[in-house]
Amino acid sequence: MRPFFWIIDEEWSDYAIEEESLKGMYPDCVIKVSNYDIQADLEEFGSMVDVILCQIYAHLPEKSISRLTRCKGIAVYGGGYDRIDIVAARKMGISVTNVSDYCKEDLADYVMASIYHFNKQILGMHQAKARGRWGAQAVRTPLRRMKGSTLLVIGLGRIGKVVAQKGKALGMVVKAFDPYVDETAMAAIGVEKVAWEEGLGQADFISVNAILNNETHGLIRYDAFTKMKRTAYLVNTARGKIIVEKDLVRAMREELIAGAALDVIESEPPTMDESIFKCSNVIVTPHISYISEESYAELKRRTIENALGMLVGRKPADLVN
């Protein structure tokens, strides 16, 4: 029987890499592509699918998974798999994989770019020039030098460690909050372990790099903003639901912090009418911090490897259930 691969995606325009790899291994395989509205296709051929390759936005609840009677695996293009019922999948004997750290350099670069944006305020200085200000009169408040400023990393996993390394390279004082990494391990890479309120109160810049789970859902709420410096900036490249968005909006209106850069928000894709889009000094980018030629290549390669491994019953290294 010919292997049947189902790609669920609305992000990419072509699947040349997938076709080359999958057909290179199984020349007669079937490859079908659907958008996120999968119901009609699920009814038409869901029972024939051997492996799914899907974006993180693909919604596969228990009701849909129960129709995948021949499926052996679901390979997610990315780190997030919260829209897939992994428990229901395991009950059906379906393995689920993700690709967790393929873009750690890119995410860390985004964090550093955001920090530089806020620190140097280049766009603001350009606008000051347009208003006729030149020289020191264009700078209303002197900016702190990057070297010696404090960076708090929330979540010192594989991505958080790269953020910390880049911060150290800039001469920043790097501290981290992560209950699952001990003080000795942090000290080994030149990072100081801090308690929650202590870290929030000391940070000039805060980078959110934690995974989203029951412990981190809504971790950063209004009370956390009251502990931060009014001059602090927040950067989130992890998951939008780690921050209570309405509380961030309130904090910005009350000027509890100076600004934020978000590449993720609570509800994605957005309606484009979210309150966070209307907040002054909050930059929201469309979940693109992971993108580079190198990250795309690794993401596709590892997702395809996971898919092919699950097809033949191999336990993949990226298994999440």
Catalytic residue status for 133: no
Active site residue 268: yes
> How far, CA to CA in Å, does 285 sit from each of 34, 114, 242, 261, 265?
26, 11, 17, 8, 9
Distances in Å between the alpha carbon of 138 and those of 62, 116, 131, 255?
58, 18, 9, 22
CA distances from 257 to 125, 137, 205, 285 (A): 20, 24, 10, 19
Return all residues near 166 (Cβ < 8 A) that are at least 6 apart: 108, 109, 111, 112
Q: Which residue has the tokens 């919260």?
A: 82
Catalytic residue among 19, 192, 197, 268: 268
70 noted as active-site residue: no
Question: Rounded to an integer, what distance in angstroms lies between the CA atom of residue 274 and that of residue 45?
Answer: 37
Contacts of 130 (CB under 8 A, 6+ apart): none
Q: Which residues contact 179 (CB under 8 A, 6 or more apart)?
A: none
Q: Which of 18, 239, 302, 305 is catalytic?
A: 239
Query: Could you tell me which of 273, 264, 220 has the C-alpha nearest to residue 240?
Result: 264
Select from 102, 136, 157 the least CA-distant residue to 290.
Answer: 102
Determine which one of 18, 287, 302, 305 is catalytic.
Answer: 287
Q: What is the DSSP letter of 8?
A: E
Residues with catalytic annotation?
Answer: 239, 268, 287
